[in-house]
């Protein structure tokens, strides 16, 4: 298909839209996007009035698939790619590449109820969160440093909302899901909703034997959340403990994939395989945070947080056995001034955030999954802070102007404890100003157009300055660049059609790229620049609106991403990769589906994900084949005297495609492929006692 036809298809294909719940409680809704209020950039405006590319995920979207993994949910958003190299091992990219992320989430800032999950070293353990404990999320695409700090990819704002009720109410919930390859999960929860106090306690367990060798996982999460309000103030508490274990099968070659896609990494020469070394991740994290909001007089409000967490991280790998102890702290505050007169409103937000990380990292020899003698031990301290100021002006019902700027700083202190008489090495990333300017114009009551320019800044993460090869790379520079964007969004055809279309051009300098040594341990280098330009489209059309007929509703939706990203000015020794396709990024991704609801409580969700070939090396001499992923879920909901019943079942990878959802890019020995699960089934039941 030619480029012009692909871009045109964005406007012609029906599409997907994400609508947010209008109630803080986790309830079902069919509200269209024109009813959605967006909180990104402290806007608190309808989605059509926000000059930014923001995708909304509701509780209904979280339940679209198997309630097990966030991956298929995030992948319905154009410009977003989420991968899972093995069960519970997430990687996330927003309008970018996974060049920097062999595992974990980097270059994307993640908040939960306005509290940062991202630590001072730039890493986010998104897999610690159980998706069944969320009510929704907002995904902001493009540089957001003007208000959310370092990161050229964007930000994810997770929500787990609780409602205050005039009449106090206790409720209980329980559910279980089972499926192929030993999948089992269960959840239980209690919630109290009062006039001034809300408390929620949730427990979740999930386990699976895995599709491949050495791919089993187990996760246990206990979360307590509470809100207390009095007068014009509100205090929010968020505490959770996660005990996560998942095996890491490792990459295999194309020849091995074609013979047996269930293989784990095989022994090669003197190096053993994943099974022999019992390769796995053990992560035990205790997280706590308090968030405070207060109204100050008529015009001001103050939002502040304090957070602390501890992670015990263990990773038996092919070449070593790593143990890591991480302590994290964070504080932040926003002062908001707001005034409105006639048809003009003005909001000015000033704030600051500081994140701190201390990591003690010890590498041992790995003797068949048992820690052997100490190879090396390091102390690393990371500090990340930023201050920002942002102004928003709304004039009449036509214009919205936003301008913001932040000053960002990142520093590291490093010491090798196993080296005698060595002091601390210091690495300071110079403070960088990152402005953002955006203008939105309401073309009609239901259609808005916007343009923006924003600078992004992303220093190397802790896992990049001190990667798994055991060296300290104090010479790594921060990524930076300008993003220019234009978009149009709104509703048509008497609110039956929603659309959100954007085009952007992002020139990134000093791009950080992953490399592997001969043993497979990674390290990182700055690789010149990249040109990341693209087109995104989201569209949804209601074939049947809610009515008194048997079919309560039928919606066709679609999302499309066109990402012809290229390297620019990138040369390694004698090899010049300038003009090559950006590693790990499919040029075309098209996801479409249908949602059908009946008055009797029966529903059907069906979707197809078509992803084009993916370059696996910077030299573009190896590609992952395109794939088509078909997923379906059907179920039944009903109200009973004692509560709500939900029964469901579904199928994933209906066509039994052999594909890799988490390629190891630039992998040594051409071990690129981490095979995703073949055709599999699931079924479950949930009950909410009122």
In the chain, where the domains are located: 3-689
Beta strands in 443-528 (DSSP E): 447-458, 479-492, 497-509, 512-516, 522-526
Q: Which of 284, 261, 264, 283 is nearest to 274 (CA)?
A: 264
| Model pLDDT, residue 103 | 67
154: left (phi over 0), alpha (psi -120 to 50) or beta: left
| Average pLDDT value for residue range 410-437 | 89
Q: What is the pLDDT of residue 99?
A: 73
100 contacts 513 by C-beta, under 8 angstroms: yes
Other Cβ atoms closer than 10 A to 5: 9
User: Given this model, what pLDDT does residue 239 score?
Assistant: 98
pLDDT tens string 203-216: 999 999 999 999 99
Confidence label for 16 from pLDDT (cuts 50, 70 and 90): very low
Q: What one-character DSSP code corresponds to residue 166?
A: S
The helix (run of H) or strand (run of E) holding residue 274 is helix 274-277
**How many other CB atoms sit within 10 Å of the CB of residue 443?**
12
Write down the residue that tokens 């309560």 correspond to: 552
Secondary structure of 158-182 in HEC code, one letter for each residue: EECCCCCCCCCEEEEEEEEEEECCC
**Long-range contacts (CB closer than 8 Å, 24 or more residues apart) made by 674-678:** 674/85, 674/86, 674/249, 674/250, 674/251, 674/252, 675/211, 675/212, 675/252, 675/257, 675/261, 675/262, 676/84, 676/211, 677/180, 677/181, 677/211, 677/652, 677/653, 678/211, 678/261, 678/653
CA dihedral (625, 275, 213, 464) positive or negative: negative
Binning pLDDT at 50, 70 and 90, where does residue 102 land? low
Asked whether residue 548 carries a pLDDT value surpassing 70, the answer given is no
Is residue 11 predicted with pLDDT exceeding 70? Answer: no
Please tell me the distance from the alpha carbon of residue 181 to that of residue 161, in angstroms, as a whole number.
33
The pair of structure tokens assigned to 405 is 């700027």
Residue 500 has pLDDT above 50, yes or no: yes
473 pLDDT above the threshold of 90: no
**What single string gives the DSSP state of each residue in 615-683?**
E-STT---EEPPEEEEEEEEEEEEEETTEEEEEEEEEESTT----BSS--TT-GGG--B-BPP-SEEEE
Q: What pLDDT score was predicted for residue 573?
A: 77
Model pLDDT for residues 258-269, shown as the tens digit of each residue: 999 999 999 998
DSSP for residue 468:
T
What tokens were used for 629? Answer: 């992923």
Helix (H) / strand (E) containing 60:
helix 59-62
- Give, as one character, the DSSP assignment of residue 34: G
Whether residue 427 is predicted with pLDDT greater than 60 in this model: the reply is: yes
Q: What is the pLDDT of residue 520?
A: 66
57 close to 136: Cβ distance less than 8 angstroms: yes
Sort residue 278 into left (φ over 0), alpha (ψ -120 to 50) or beta.
Answer: left
Q: What would the pLDDT profile of 309-359 be if each residue is shown by its tens digit?
A: 999 999 999 999 999 999 999 999 999 999 998 889 999 999 999 999 999
pLDDT digit string (tens) for 575-601?
899 999 999 999 999 999 999 999 889
pLDDT band at 460 (very low <50, low <70, confident <90, very high): confident
Termini Cα distance of the chain: 53
Q: What is the percent of the chain where pLDDT is above 70?
A: 94
pLDDT tens digit string along 154-187? 999 999 999 999 999 999 999 999 999 999 999 9
**3-state secondary structure at position 240:** strand
What is the tens place of the pLDDT at every residue in 528-541? 889 999 999 999 99
Tokens of 500: 């959100």
pLDDT at 459: 87
The burial class, CB within 10 Å (0-12 / 13-18 / 19+), for 582 is buried
Closest CA to 20 of 57, 62, 50, 75: 57
Best CA proximity match to 560, nearest among 184, 6, 174: 6
Band of the pLDDT at 66, cuts 50, 70, 90?
confident
Chain-centroid distance, C-alpha 641: 38
pLDDT of residue 1 exceeding 70: no
> To which H or E segment does residue 588 belong?
strand 588-598
Q: How many residues does the chain have?
A: 690
Return d(Cα 663, Cα 325) in angstroms, integer. 28
pLDDT band per the 50, 70, 90 thresholds, residue 522: confident
* Region 272-282 average pLDDT: 96
- pLDDT surpassing 70 at residue 19: no
Among 101, 99, 108, 91, residue whose Cα is nearest residue 143: 108
* pLDDT value of residue 4: 39
468 — pLDDT class (breaks 50, 70, 90) = confident
Chain centre to alpha carbon of residue 402:
25
**Closest of 126, 86, 129, 137 to residue 104, by C-alpha:** 126
Rounded Cα–Cα distance for residues 347 and 389 (Å): 11
For the chain, the average pLDDT equals 90
Tell whether the model's pLDDT for residue 222 goes beyond 70: yes
Task: Say yes or no to pLDDT of 35 above 70.
Answer: no
- Are 492 and 540 spatial neighbours (Cβ–Cβ below 8 Å)? no
Which of 406, 433, 557, 392 is CA-nearest to residue 38? 392
Looking at residue 67, its pLDDT comes to 86
Q: Is the pLDDT of residue 420 over 90?
A: no
Centroid of chain to Cα 640: 36
d(CA 643, CA 189): 14
Name which residue leads in pLDDT, 8 or 324: 324
Class of domain 3-689: mainly beta
**Greatest mean pLDDT among 190-194, 429-433, 495-499, 638-642:** 190-194
Check: pTM over 0.85? Answer yes or no: yes
**pLDDT at residue number 602:** 95
The Cα 344–Cα 399 span in angstroms is 10
């Amino acid at each position: 298909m030619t480029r012009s036809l692909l871009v045109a298809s964005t406007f012609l294909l029906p599409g997907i839209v994400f609508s947010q719940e209008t109630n803080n409680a986790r309830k079902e809704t069919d509200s269209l996007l024109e009813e959605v209020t967006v909180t990104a950039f402290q806007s608190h405006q309808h989605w059509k009035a926000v000059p930014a590319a923001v995708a909304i995920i509701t509780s209904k979207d979280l339940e679209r698939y198997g309630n097990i993994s966030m991956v298929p949910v995030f992948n319905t958003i154009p410009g977003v790619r989420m991968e899972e190299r093995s069960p519970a091992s997430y990687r996330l990219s927003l309008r970018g590449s996974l060049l920097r992320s062999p595992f974990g989430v980097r270059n994307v800032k993640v908040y939960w109820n306005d509290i940062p999950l991202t630590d001072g070293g730039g890493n986010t353990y998104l897999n610690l969160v159980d998706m069944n404990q969320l009510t929704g999320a907002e995904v902001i695409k493009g540089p957001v440093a003007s208000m959310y700090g370092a990161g050229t990819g964007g930000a994810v704002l997770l929500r787990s909302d609780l409602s205050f009720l005039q009449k106090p109410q206790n409720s209980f919930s329980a559910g279980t899901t089972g499926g192929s390859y030993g999948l089992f999960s269960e959840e239980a929860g209690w919630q109290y909703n009062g006039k001034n106090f809300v408390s929620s306690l949730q427990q979740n367990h999930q386990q699976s034997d895995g599709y491949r060798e050495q791919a089993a996982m187990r996760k246990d999460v206990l979360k307590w959340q509470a809100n207390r309000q009095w007068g014009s103030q509100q205090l929010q508490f968020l505490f959770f403990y996660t005990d996560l274990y998942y095996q890491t099968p490792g990459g295999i070659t194309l020849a091995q994939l074609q013979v047996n896609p269930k293989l784990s990494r095989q022994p090669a020469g003197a190096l053993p395989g994943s099974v022999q070394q019992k390769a796995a991740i053990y992560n035990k994290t205790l997280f706590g945070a308090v968030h405070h909001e207060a109204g100050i007089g008529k015009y001001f409000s103050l939002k502040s947080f304090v957070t602390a967490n501890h992670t015990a991280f263990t990773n038996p790998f092919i070449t070593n056995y790593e143990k890591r102890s991480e302590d994290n702290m964070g504080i932040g505050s926003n002062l908001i001034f707001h005034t409105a007169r006639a048809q003009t409103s003005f909001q000015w937000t000033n704030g600051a955030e500081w994140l701190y990380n201390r990591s003690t990292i010890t590498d041992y020899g790995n003797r068949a999954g048992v820690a052997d003698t100490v190879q090396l031990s390091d102390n690393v301290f990371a500090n990340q802070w930023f201050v920002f100021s942002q102004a928003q002006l709304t004039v009449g019902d036509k214009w919205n102007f936003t301008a913001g700027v932040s000053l960002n700083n990142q520093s590291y202190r490093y010491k090798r404890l196993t080296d005698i008489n060595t002091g601390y090495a210091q690495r300071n990333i110079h403070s960088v100003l990152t402005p953002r300017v955006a203008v939105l114009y309401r073309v009609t009551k239901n259609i808005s157009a916007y343009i923006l320019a924003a600078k992004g800044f992303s220093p190397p993460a802790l896992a990049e300055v001190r990667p798994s090869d055991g060296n300290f790379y104090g010479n790594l520079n921060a990524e930076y660049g300008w993003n220019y964007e234009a978009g149009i969004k709104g509703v048509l055809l008497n609110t039956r059609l929603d659309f959100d279309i954007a085009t952007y051009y992002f020139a990134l300098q000093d791009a950080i790229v992953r490399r592997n040594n001969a043993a497979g341990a990674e390290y990182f280098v700055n690789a010149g620049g990249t040109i990341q330009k693209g087109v995104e489209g989201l569209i949804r059309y209601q074939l049947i609106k809610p009515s008194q007929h048997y079919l309560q509703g039928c919606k066709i939706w679609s999302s499309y991403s066109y990402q012809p990203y290229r390297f620019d000015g990138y040369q390694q020794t004698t090899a010049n990769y300038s003009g090559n396709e950006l590693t790990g990024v499919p040029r075309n991704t098209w996801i479409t589906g249908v949602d059908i609801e009946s008055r009797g409580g029966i529903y059907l969700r069906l979707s197809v994900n078509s992803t084009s070939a993916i370059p696996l090396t910077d030299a573009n001499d190896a590609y992952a084949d395109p794939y088509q992923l078909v997923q379906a879920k059907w179920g039944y909901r009903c109200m009973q005297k004692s509560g709500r019943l939900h029964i469901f079942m579904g199928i994933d990878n209906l066509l039994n495609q052999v594909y890799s959802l988490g390629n190891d890019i630039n992998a040594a020995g051409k071990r690129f492929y981490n095979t995703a699960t073949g055709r599999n089934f699931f079924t479950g039941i949930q009950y909410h006692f009122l």
